[in-house]
Structure 1
Amino acid sequence: MRFDLTDLKLFVHIAESGSITAGAQLAHLALPSASARVRGMEQALDVPLLQRGRRGAEPTEAGRALLHHARAIARQVNDMQADLAEFASGLKGRIRLLCNTSAMTEFLPDALAAFLAAHPQLGIDLEERLSRDIVQAVAEGAADIGIVSDAANAEALQTFAFRDDRLALVMARSHPLARQYRRRSSIRYADALAHDFIGLAGDSAFQQYAAGQASRLGLHMHCKIRLRSFEAVCRMAASGAGVALMPETAARRSADADRLLVLKLSDEWADRKLLICLRDLDALPRHARELVATLRRD
């Protein structure tokens, strides 16, 4: 049984894209060549690696086992190349870090800026995802470190405390809901969902999370407008355009804080804690362990 790096990288691309055609393009191979390589791997193992259908290709159980090892090998090769690249470009290593929206916007910028300033030869690939997807990616070796909400099931991973992340509802003090709750400090999420919301644009992980919590209550979150940042959401909320769900830290630091009423959510899921998650701290490259130590210390 002989697989080369091209075979393994091709299989990772196919599994992650869900398509042999897309995987071949990502691997810079012609489709017939890619298909032949996959058939060769299946013949060498005498077991199907992909389940092919009209919607694309998904790994079989054997394919998922191969994917796990292929990612591990690719990670080791990348680590080797990064270490050797130090002699040519000065870059010593690269860390793959996944995080949810709150960590991305509220807590990581200052911590990562200080870390990178102290480690000029390192690079960080930072990507925002839903907490449950981060846990899966870290478990599968697709990321070195993740930062997730404690609501995600990360029992199979090593976890460390990172930050408290309480969620709150924000609205203009002139908003009808604000007038109704001006003498209270908290509110149930369900009691606010009858009003128009201001949300985050695009495929924001936080927006998906907020909509998912509404669905669990059997209700719908109606977003009147979507914006790119919590700062912009605060400005729009201060104008009276609607209600916004966001980290309490983002609301408190807003330039429009004096014009906003910030109500804590009484729902249990809103009192979140963020966790650093990883597969094995001792198995991480030294520079990745140093980042974990910095995040835990901060």
Structure 2
Amino acid sequence: MRFDLTDLKLFVHIAESGSITAGAQLANLALPSASARIRGMEEALKVPLLQRGRRGAEPTEAGRTLLHHARAIARQVDDMRADLAEFATGLKGQVRLLCNTSAMTEFLPDALAAFLATHPQLSIDLEEKLSREIVQAVIDGAADIGIATDAVDSSALQTFPFRDDPLVLAMARDHPLARQLGKKRHISFADALSHDFIGMAGDSALQRHAAEQAARLGLRLHCKIRLRSFEAMCRMAASGAGLALLPEAAAIRHNGDDRLRIVKLNDAWADRKLLICVRDHDALPAHTRELIAALRRI
């Protein structure tokens, strides 16, 4: 079966307008040509794609399946054209980079800003995801570089050390859990889950990870409030509103008035390291290898 973009766009126009005539006009095709193209598609697939009637034409079950894929292909083509159009304005390369919450907020902003300042003809498409999603995306070729924790299996990829990134609990010094701990400097996550937490708003990879760890213990992570930054979480925790689970670097950075008590977690999953993940370093474009080198130096 061989369909071209004109066939697919024509079918989308017909399905959305409810008429072969209107669809042909939208596709800038003569009606006989449009009808012939639809017949050719149906003959190639050996199934009817349109239910024709007095009121026009609507997709059959097979037609609705084709419509779904045709729309997806059209979006991909539009995205491709938009990306390639940037090269006409001087852009020389794009890097698709996926990272976890900690890398996104604590380590990458300054590093990427410095890199882009010296590489003005590059662009970076940065997105936050869970570490296991990052690894799978790099394996599948959906991302050039991933920054994920060593808690997930990345053995199918080439990896390079990026940062130590342990998770800690931050709380007010007079919080009930802080008083309960006394001089202890470590706690298990399970022992903290009876208290209210301060979480991250939105679809935060760190928040989802924390909820999953609680579920594995057969417990629930109760978030009293969700905020959009580690700084806001630390300020709220310092006021005594709850516990904040966040990277140690963020807790230390936002503890300016020393009102927070920072407690390490005993759990193995919290003692994590961040890794740079790629499929094949030597096969990457030169500008992508340069970015990896810059991230490893910082």
TM over 0.5: yes
Q: How does 1:25-174 map to 2 (within 5 A)?
A: 29-30=12-13, 32=15, 82=84, 85-86=86-87, 88-174=88-174
CA distance, structure 2, for counterparts of residue 193 and residue 144 of structure 1: 37
TM-aligned CA distance change 1:118 to 1:177, over 3 Å:
same
Question: Are the equivalent residues in 2 in contact too, given 1:251–1:257 (CA < 8 A)?
Answer: no
- Secondary structure of the 1:174 match is coil
CA distance, structure 2, for counterparts of residue 176 and residue 107 of structure 1: 32
CA distance, structure 2, for counterparts of residue 211 and residue 31 of structure 1: 46
- Secondary structure of the 1:94 match is strand
Deviating 4+ runs (over 4 angstroms): 1-7
Per the normalisation by structure 2, the TM-score is: 0.75
Question: Are the equivalent residues in 2 in contact too, given 1:135–1:277 (CA < 8 A)?
Answer: yes
TM-aligned CA distance change 1:85 to 1:126, over 3 Å:
closer
TM-aligned CA distance change 1:272 to 1:31, over 3 Å:
farther
**Consecutive unaligned residues in structure 2, runs of 5 or more:** 17-36, 46-60
The equivalent of 1:240 in structure 2 is 240
Measured after TM superposition, the shift of residue 297 of structure 1 is 1.8
Are 2:207 and 1:207 aligned? Answer: yes
**Consecutive unaligned residues in structure 1, runs of 5 or more:** 11-23, 45-52, 58-62, 64-69
**Number of residue pairs the alignment of both structures matches:** 253
TM-aligned CA distance change 1:134 to 1:30, over 3 Å:
farther
- Deviation digits for residues 146-191 of structure 1 (CA, Å, limit 9, x no counterpart): 1001111211111111111101000000101011113011111111
Are 2:202 and 1:218 aligned? Answer: no
- Deviation digits for residues 238-292 of structure 1 (CA, Å, limit 9, x no counterpart): 0000011100110001144500000000111110011111111122111111111
Question: Are the equivalent residues in 2 in contact too, given 1:234–1:256 (CA < 8 A)?
Answer: no
CA distance, structure 1, for counterparts of residue 102 and residue 175 of structure 2: 25
TM-aligned CA distance change 1:29 to 1:103, over 3 Å:
farther
The equivalent of 2:279 in structure 1 is 279
- Deviation digits for residues 221-252 of structure 1 (CA, Å, limit 9, x no counterpart): 10000000111000000000001110011000
CA distance, structure 2, for counterparts of residue 147 and residue 153 of structure 1: 13
The equivalent of 2:192 in structure 1 is 192
Measured after TM superposition, the shift of residue 30 of structure 1 is 3.8
TM-aligned CA distance change 1:296 to 1:187, over 3 Å:
same
Structure 1 vs Structure 2 CA RMSD: 3.4
- Secondary structure of the 1:258 match is coil
Q: Quote the sequence identity (%).
A: 65
- Deviation digits for residues 101-152 of structure 1 (CA, Å, limit 9, x no counterpart): 0110111111101100110111111000111111111111111111001111
Are 2:250 and 1:250 aligned? Answer: yes
- Matching residue's letter, 1:183: K
Larger radius of gyration: 2
- Matching residue's letter, 2:106: E
- Matching residue's letter, 2:241: A
Question: Are the equivalent residues in 1 in contact too, given 2:3–2:41 (CA < 8 A)?
Answer: no
CA distance, structure 1, for counterparts of residue 103 and residue 150 of structure 2: 13
The equivalent of 1:294 in structure 2 is 294
Measured after TM superposition, the shift of residue 32 of structure 1 is 4.4
- Matching residue's letter, 1:232: A
- Matching residue's letter, 1:201: A
- Matching residue's letter, 1:184: K
Per the normalisation by structure 1, the TM-score is: 0.75
CA distance, structure 1, for counterparts of residue 215 and residue 124 of structure 2: 35
